[in-house]
Each structure stands twice: as C-alpha cells, then as structure tokens.
C-alpha cells in the first residue's frame, strides 16, 4: 500500500468511526466518499455521495465528485447529469475547467463529438493551459474527420507541455491520416523518446513505416511493440498480418504469422472478425487454402455493418483460386510523403 493509500485508508477509518456515532455527519460522509473514490472503490464512494446529497442537495462539490465516480464506472449519462448540475449549482471557479473537461470526455465516449468539443472549448477558455482538453478536443476533431484542426490542438498541447508523449503520438496519427508519413514518423519518434515503453506508439510508427514501404523498420517496430506488450492480442495480430501479407517475400513468415494470430484469436475467443481474417491470410500464406476459406467465411458470418464485407468476399474468391493475400505496395507518392 502506498503512502497515499495509507492516508486514504486512515481517513476512511476515522470517518467511519465518526459516522458510527453521528450517521448524518455530512462532512464525514463527503470526506469518506472522496477517500473511497481515490481508493478506486467507486460504488462505496457513490453510496456516500448519495447520502450526503440526500441531506444537503445543494452541494455542487459533492455532485461533481459523484459525477467523477460515475464517469470512472463508465455510467456516462449519470456522470453528465451530475456534472451539469454541479456546474449550474455554482461549482468553485478552480474546479470548473476540469468539470467541463470531464463532461466533455463523457460526451466523447458517447460519440457526441460536437457536444464534447463545446465542453473542451469552455475548459480551455477557463484554463488556456489545459493540456488534456487540447488532446481530447483533437481526438474529437479526428473523429469528425478534421485532422488539420486536430493537429492544431495537438500543437497547442505540445506548446503547453513539450514533454507530452501523448500529444506527439496523437499528432503523428493525424499526420498519417493526411498522408504526411514523414511528419507522422517524426512525431512518433519524438513520442517514443519521451515514453520509450509505450507499445502503442511503436505500433503506430510501424504502420507509418509500412505504408511507406520501409518494411525492415516496420518489422522492427512491430516486434518491439509485442516485446513491450507481450499479452496483447492486438500486438500479435498486427505483427502476424505483416508476416503473412507483406509484399516482399523476405519479410514473410507464414509459420510465425499463424502462431501469433492463433494466439490472438484464442485471447479473443475467435470473435474478432479482423483477427479471423488475418488467420485466414496466415493459412493461405502457408498454402492451406481450405482453412483460409473456412476462417474467412467464419469472419464473414460474424461481420457487422462496420466490417468491409465486400473485401471479405474478395478474399474468399482469391483463396478459392489458390491465391494468397498480399498487401498493396506503396505508390511513389506514399514512399516520399
């Protein structure tokens, strides 16, 4: 137990003793609720905040804290309601930027990106150095397809916090979405310098290298990502796909691709259509087209409207013709972008 956890444990014990004698002590209830929250016991925190509000319904700070707890439980509608009430009931000015930011995050999670941006705008107006608000507003802009506005926000985040690996990583992703692969790779490299243990950033840079046709660099990044995150199904799948369908034969390794993607499918109970498609491609690379057809058909049967069903059907036709799947080589423009 850390020193902070020991302190919160002590607060919980002291407040519980007080509440045993005085069950309606709102100060003890709210303090214990906050300590429960910091200990990540969100149900107990919410229970204490509930009772506090039943006794003192105008406490904006308690509504705010309960909203935070609901957001941690991913009960976003309840969190939004509490955060809105806290703002309307006169939350202290120093807490307002984070209140708007947290409500924005909840709206972002509900895919209400335009509403989320409005909240981030207000958080930034109140606190122009709110790095997290710039980062989240950038993600919302990307969801809306406006990658240039996202880049502008990530750049502002970097100006406020030059050591923000997340800002560089997110800006790198936005550059890649615009086809600016060199700029994306430069940002990913800076993010890796700042946070060298982040597997996601190695994967992102590997994708950019791959799109440029720099396969040796892509393979090295995919390998490093898996090394850093060895239990991840996604890291296995990304590397397996590369080993199965890389256009240059010297980088393909069907046996290892099959091993990695089988593990990824096992970790996800054979429910991920993309992983099943990769499993089919690995079997095809090994020359087992019957298994490739079988797994691709399984993926097609599980497909939703978010999946590229036409591509799945084309893969089945290729496997039926005895043709393995290959990644499209980059154009000259992609190689130099």
Largest CA distance in the chain: 79
210 within domain boundaries: yes
For residue 266, give the CATH number of its domain: 1.25.40
Q: Other CB atoms closer than 10 Å to residue 3's CB: what's the count?
A: 7
pLDDT of residue 144: 97
pLDDT of residue 337: 73
> Tens-digit pLDDT profile for the chain (337 aa)?
789 999 999 999 999 999 999 999 999 999 999 999 999 999 999 999 999 999 999 999 999 999 999 999 999 999 999 999 999 999 999 999 999 999 999 999 999 999 999 999 999 999 999 999 999 999 999 999 999 999 999 999 999 999 999 999 999 999 999 999 999 999 999 999 999 999 999 999 999 999 999 999 999 999 999 999 999 999 999 999 999 999 999 999 999 999 999 999 999 999 999 999 999 999 999 999 999 999 999 999 999 887 889 999 999 999 999 999 999 888 877 777 7
226 and 237 part of one domain? no
Backbone φ and ψ for 282, nearest 5 degrees, come out as: -65, -40
Which of 230, 249, 276 represents a domain boundary (last residue)?
Answer: 230
Category of 74 on φ-ψ map: left (φ > 0), alpha (ψ -120 to 50) or beta? left
For residue 199, give the CATH number of its domain: 1.25.40.10
Q: Other CB atoms closer than 10 Å to residue 89's CB: what's the count?
A: 15
185 within domain boundaries: yes
Q: The domain containing residue 225 runs over which residues?
A: 163-230
Contact yes or no for 35/26 (Cβ under 8 A): no
Q: Is 92 helix (H, G, I), strand (E, B) or coil?
A: coil
Q: Report the number of distinct structural domains present in the chain.
A: 2
Which of 182, 214, 230 represents a domain boundary (last residue)?
Answer: 230
241 and 208 part of one domain? no
243 and 337 part of one domain? yes
97-117: b (≥16 Cβ within 10 Å) or e: bbbbbbbbbbbbeeebbebbb
168 within domain boundaries: yes
250 and 321 part of one domain? yes
217 and 239 part of one domain? no
Which of 200, 230, 260 represents a domain boundary (last residue)?
Answer: 230
Closest among 19, 55, 62, 20 to 37, alpha carbons compared: 62
Structure tokens at 327: 């990644």
State how far Cα 72 lies from the chain centre. Answer: 15
This model's pTM is above 0.75: yes
253 and 334 part of one domain? yes
pLDDT of residue 125: 97
């Amino acid at each position: 137990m850390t020193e902070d956890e020991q302190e919160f444990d002590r607060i919980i014990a002291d407040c519980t003793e007080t509440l045993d004698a005085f069950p309606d002590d709102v100060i003890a209830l709210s303090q214990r609720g906050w300590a429960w929250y910091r200990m990540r016991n969100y149900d107990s925190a919410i229970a204490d905040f509930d009772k506090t509000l039943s006794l003192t319904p105008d406490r904006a700070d308690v509504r705010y804290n309960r909203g935070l707890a609901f957001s941690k439980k991913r009960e976003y509608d309840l969190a939004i309601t509490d955060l809105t009430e806290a703002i309307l009931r006169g939350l202290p000015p120093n807490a307002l930027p984070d209140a708007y930011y947290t409500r924005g995050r909840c709206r972002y999670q509900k895919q209400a990106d335009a509403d989320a941006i409005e909240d981030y705008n207000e958080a930034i107006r109140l606190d122009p150095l709110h790095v997290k608000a710039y980062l989240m507003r950038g993600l919302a802009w990307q969801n809306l397809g406006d990658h240039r506005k996202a880049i502008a926000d990530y750049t502002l985040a970097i100006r406020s916090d030059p050591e923000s690996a997340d800002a560089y990583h997110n800006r790198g992703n936005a550059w890649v979405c615009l086809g600016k692969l060199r700029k994306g790779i430069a940002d990913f490299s800076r993010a890796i310098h700042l946070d060298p243990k982040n597997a996601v950033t190695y994967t992102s840079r590997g994708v950019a290298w791959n799109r440029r046709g720099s396969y040796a660099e892509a393979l090295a990044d995919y390998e490093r990502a898996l090394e850093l995150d060895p239990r991840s199904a996604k890291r296995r799948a990304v590397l397996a796909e590369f080993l199965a369908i890389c256009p240059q034969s010297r980088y393909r390794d069907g046996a290892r691709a099959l091993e990695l993607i089988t593990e990824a499918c096992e970790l996800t109970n054979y429910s991920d259509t993309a992983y099943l498609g990769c499993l089919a491609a690995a079997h095809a690379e090994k020359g087992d087209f019957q298994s490739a057809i079988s797994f691709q058909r399984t993926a097609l049967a599980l497909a939703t409207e978010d999946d590229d069903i036409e591509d799945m059907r084309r893969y089945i036709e290729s496997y039926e013709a005895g043709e393995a799947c290959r990644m499209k080589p980059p154009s000259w423009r992609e190689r130099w972008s």
